[in-house]
Amino acid sequence: MRVPQYVNKPFKSPVICKKSVSTTESPTPTQQMKAPAVVRPLSKRAPSDVAPSINKKAAQGVAYYSIMYRKRSTKKHKTWDGDGTAIEMSNGSFRFYKDDGRFFGSGSLGKGEDKFERIFTCSGCEVQLDHQIEDEQEVSKLEEILGSSTKSTNQIVKPSLGHKIKQGTSSRSPSPGIQVVHYLPTQKFKPVYRNSQSDSFESTPGAANARRFPPIFDPSQIEDPLIMNTFTGAECDVIVDPILSKHLRPHQRVGVKFMYDCVMGLSRPSQHEDDGKTSCLLQKTDEVQGCLLADEMGLGKTLMTIALIWTLLKQTPTPSKETTSQFGIPLQGLCNKVLVVCPVTLIANWKREFSKWLGLNRIGILTLDSKSTPEKDKLHVRNFLRVQRTYQVLILGYEKLLSVTEALQQESSSIGLMVCDEGHRLKNGQSKTLSALNSLDISRKVLLTGTPIQNDLTEFFTIIDFLNCGIMGNFSQFKRDYINPITRARDVNNKYNETIQTRGKDRTDELIDATKKFTLRRTADTISKFLPPKTDVVLFCKPTKSQIQAFEKILTNAQLDLSSITPSSSLALITLFKKICNSPSLISQDSYYLENIKSKSDLTGCLGLDSGKLRVLLALLENIRSSYPQEKVVIVSNYTQTLDIIQNILTSNRFAFTRLDGNTPTKERDRIVRAFNTVPSLFAFLLSAKSGGVGLNLIGASRLVLFDNDWNPAIDLQAMSRIHRDGQRRPCFIYRLLTTGCIDEKIFQRQLMKISLSFRFMGDQESSSSIKADDNLFETDDLKDLFTVLTSTKSNTHDLICACHGQKEHVSDSKVTAATMAETGAKGWTSAMDLMASMEKAESEKIAEKAALVQQCLVDYEHIETLKAHEIISEAALESQTDVTFAFIKSSKI
C-alpha cells in the first residue's frame, strides 16, 4: 500500500513523497479507515557510517550544529535544499550529516573565519551552519542517531496485508531525533473525553461516535499525547504532532490548548481548569476567535504558537471527503496560510524557531527581504496567497505590513490565522498598523506579548476589540460600564464611599471574568524550575561628590516652579538628572543644560567621567573576570552615549566586548549574537535596552548589569530576561545599579509600583479588586520628589519599606507599617492614638500605599547594608565594593 506524505520543501514546489510501508497483509479498506497512525522510530544506520566515536568526542568537547545544505550552483538567488547536522571535531574540522543521519562530507575553517558565516563546499554541496545545538536531550538524541544506529536509510519496508504495521525507516526521514508518523488508520484508537460540564469521562462524547475520520496520529502510540479539546459535530480528533508535543513543557501544553480553544471558538466553562492532559468536550459558540497570550518573557510563546500553527496547517476537526484521501488521510488542515506579523528584528528569530522545532524542509516559510521594493513585496505576497503548497507561513515586519496591506486584503480570506508578536504595539487605537490589520478578513487571531497591559483600560479595550471585535460592546459602552466606575473607585476622594467602591470592584471582577476567556498570562516562575537559579541584586551606588554638586547647581539654576510643575515641563530636567546618575560627563552635551543652565552656572568642575555606578560596574567586572573567568556579562543601558562611555572603559581595561544598539543593521544582529554566545574570548555584550531588548537570546552570558532603568518596567524586564532563559546552564546574576538617594531610585520605586498594579490585574485574581484604571503615578508631589537628592540615606527605597538594620533580613508585611512610620517621622515607639492620628493624614496614606506597592515587589529580598559579610557576596562577585551603600539580593535558591 502506498501512503502519501506531504513534504513541503521551503523554496521548491512541494513533492508528494510516496512512501511504502510493509505489513504482512494489506488492511481492508474499512480497516484502513479506522487504523491508527503508527509512530515510527528514527532511522538506523550502519556502523560504517557512524560518526567516529561520537560519545568519546563529545566528552572531549565536540559541538553539534544544525546545518542547511544545497547543491552547488551558480544561480544568483540561491535557496537551501535541506537540513542536517554538523559535528565540530576536537581538531576544529566539521563533519556533515543529512537529516536522515547520512554522512556526506567534511570541511575545515580557514584562519580567522567565522564558522557561521562560512559556506563550506563538499561532495557537490554547499553547507552553512545554522545554530549550535546545546539542548542536552537533543545532543544525546543526535549522539544516539549518529553514533549507534545501523544503516538502513534507504530501506523501504513494504506493507503486507492484514498485519500490524512494521516500523521502518524512510528515504526522506526528517531531522534527527524526530519521529515519523505514517497516516495509517487502524481500529485500535478510541479516545476518552472529559465532559467539561459534568467532569465525567466518556469514550464517545456526543456525536463523536459519528466521527468519520481517524486522527492522523495515534495517541496510544505517543508518549504523553497532546489531544485538543473537541466539540459536538467534530468529525476528527486533533492531536498535536508528537515531534512538537514531546518538547512542550506542562505550561506550554496548556497554552497550546488554550490558544486552540480560542481560535476554534470553543467556550470553556468559567470554572474550567485545563491540565493539558485530557481532551474535553466543549461548546462551540464562536463567541471568541482571538486569543491574547500574555505570558511573561521566556516562557516559549513562539514554540507554543508554532505548535498551534503546525496543528492547524495539517489537521482539522471537520475534514470532509473532498479534503481527505480515500484512506481518510487529511490532505489539508483547517488553515492553508498563516500570517505572522512581528517587529522586523524578530523575523529571523521566528524563522530560526520554525527551523529548530520543525526543520525548514517540513514547512514553507516566506519572509520578505527588508531591502526588496514594495512592488516586489506585493508580488511575493500575491504569490504566497495564490500558490497553494509552496509556502504556508508568511512572516512580516510591522513596518512592511503597510506596504503590502492591499495585496493581503485581496485574498486575506485564504489566511486562516494571524499571529501578532509583541502585540502590545497595537494598543494605540489610532495606529495605521492596527487599521491595516483590522482591514484584513482574518477572524482567527493570536496576539503575543510579554508586556502586561499597563493598567490603561483604553489601550486594553483596543486590543480586546482587535482580537474579538465587539465582544465588550463599543468604546462608549466600555467606558461607561468599566472605565468610569473603576476609575472612580480608585479616586482617593471616593475611598470611603462604599457604593462607589463596591461598584468598582464588581466591574473589575466582571471585566476580568469576561477577558479570562481569551487571555492567558503566566509568570516567569512557571519556568523557573527548568532553569538554573537566578539571583537578583539591586545595588545602591554612592554618588560621587561631583555628581552631588552637579545636581545641586542645576536645581538652583533651573528655577523650576515646583508648584506648577508638570511631567512635560520637567521632562528635559528628568533626562538631565538621569544622565548625571550615569556619568556627569554627559551633561556637557545635554541640550537642556546648554540652553538653560550653562550661561548661569559654571559646572566645569563637576563634568568628570566618574560616577558611583561606573565605579561599581568596573569593580564588578574586575571581580567577575578574576573569580569567574568562564562567565560573560551583558551590560544594558537606555542611552547609546552611556554605552559609549562604558565601551571606552572596557577598552582601556582590556575587556573584549561586542555591541548591539539601534545603529546595528538587522542582518548584523544575528551574527553579533551568535559570536558572543560562542566565542569564549568575548567577555562583555553592550546592549541598548530599547533597540535590542526584545527577542534576543544571550545565554552565552550568565551575568547581566542593568546600568540604568526605564520608566517602563517592561523594557527593563525584557532586557533582563535575555540571559535567564531556556538553554541557559549556569546560575544567573542580574544586577540593577541605582544611584543612592537620587532620581534612579525614584524611577525604580515607580517601576515597582507599576509592576504591582499590573500584576494585580493580569495575574493575581485575588487582589483584582485593587485594579487601577489610571496609572497616574505622576502627581505634582511625585515630580517634586524626583528631583530631591537624599545624601544621607543608604537606600531611600529601603527606608520606605523597612526599618531593619540591613543584616540579611527579609521584608515582610508587618514591616510596612514600621517603614511608613519611619518615613513620616514617627520614629521609635508611638502610641496607638498617635499612630492612628498620623495614619489618617492623607499624606501618610499615600506613602503607605506607595510603600505597600513597592514592598510587594521586594518580598523575599535580603536586605544588606554596605555588603555585610555573607556568602552571597562572593558568589555575586561583590567583594570589596566600597561604593555600594546598600543591596537587596534575592536568589531563586532561597
Ligand X SMILES: Nc1ncnc2c1ncn2[C@@H]1O[C@H](COP(=O)(O)OP(=O)(O)OP(=O)(O)O)[C@@H](O)[C@H]1O
* Contacting positions for ligand X (CB under 6 A): 135, 247-249, 252, 295, 297-303, 353, 356, 450, 695, 697, 721, 725-727
Closest CB to ligand X among 365 and 867? 365
The helix (run of H) or strand (run of E) holding residue 520 is: strand 519-520
Min dist. Cβ of residue 375 to ligand X (A): 32
Min dist. Cβ of residue 291 to ligand X (A): 15
The helix/strand/coil state of 220 is: helix
Min dist. Cβ of residue 747 to ligand X (A): 22
Q: What whole-number distance in Å separates Cα of residue 867 and Cα of residue 885? A: 8
Backbone angles phi, psi at 446, to 5 degrees: -125, 125
Q: Are 825 and 851 in contact (CB under 8 A)?
A: no
- Tally helices (H) and strands (E) across the chain: 30, 31
The helix/strand/coil state of 85 is: strand
Q: What whole-number distance in Å separates Cα of residue 100 and Cα of residue 438? A: 44
Closest CB to ligand X among 578 and 725? 725
Among residues 252, 259, 590, which one has the least CA distance to residue 238?
259
Enumerate the β-bridge partners of residue 25. Answer: 161
Distance of CA 738 to the CA centre of its chain: 26
Q: What whole-number distance in Å separates Cα of residue 17 and Cα of residue 360? A: 16
CA pseudo-torsion sign 415, 419, 423, 425: negative
Among residues 792, 796, 738, 721, which one has the least CA distance to residue 616?
738
Closest CB to ligand X among 241 and 295? 295
Min dist. Cβ of residue 177 to ligand X (A): 13
Closest CB to ligand X among 8 and 449? 449
Q: Please measure the distance between the N-terminal and C-terminal CA atoms of the chain and give it in whole angstroms.
A: 60
DSSP 659: E
Min dist. Cβ of residue 306 to ligand X (A): 9
User: What's the residue count for the chain?
Assistant: 894
Among residues 639, 590, 572, 645, which one has the least CA distance to residue 614?
645
Closest CB to ligand X among 174 and 300? 300
Min dist. Cβ of residue 299 to ligand X (A): 4
Q: What whole-number distance in Å separates Cα of residue 572 and Cα of residue 590? A: 9
Min dist. Cβ of residue 492 to ligand X (A): 35
Closest CB to ligand X among 135 and 622? 135
Min dist. Cβ of residue 696 to ligand X (A): 8
Min dist. Cβ of residue 346 to ligand X (A): 8
Among residues 37, 219, 64, which one has the least CA distance to residue 145?
64
Closest CB to ligand X among 245 and 793? 245
Closest CB to ligand X among 371 and 529? 529
Closest CB to ligand X among 82 and 300? 300
Among residues 332, 163, 208, 763, which one has the least CA distance to residue 522?
763
Q: What whole-number distance in Å separates Cα of residue 30 and Cα of residue 36? A: 12
- For the record, the C-alpha cell of 325 comes out as 484521501
CA distances from 496 to 71, 152, 327, 482 (A): 76, 78, 70, 20
DSSP 589: G
Among residues 135, 130, 127, 143, which one has the least CA distance to residue 57?
143
Closest CB to ligand X among 68 and 407? 68
Closest CB to ligand X among 235 and 726? 726
Min dist. Cβ of residue 409 to ligand X (A): 28
DSSP strand pairing (82-88 vs 94-98): antiparallel
Min dist. Cβ of residue 724 to ligand X (A): 10
Closest CB to ligand X among 303 and 408? 303
Min dist. Cβ of residue 247 to ligand X (A): 5
Closest CB to ligand X among 450 and 692? 450
Min dist. Cβ of residue 450 to ligand X (A): 4
Backbone angles phi, psi at 714, to 5 degrees: -65, -35
- For the record, the C-alpha cell of 879 comes out as 567583594
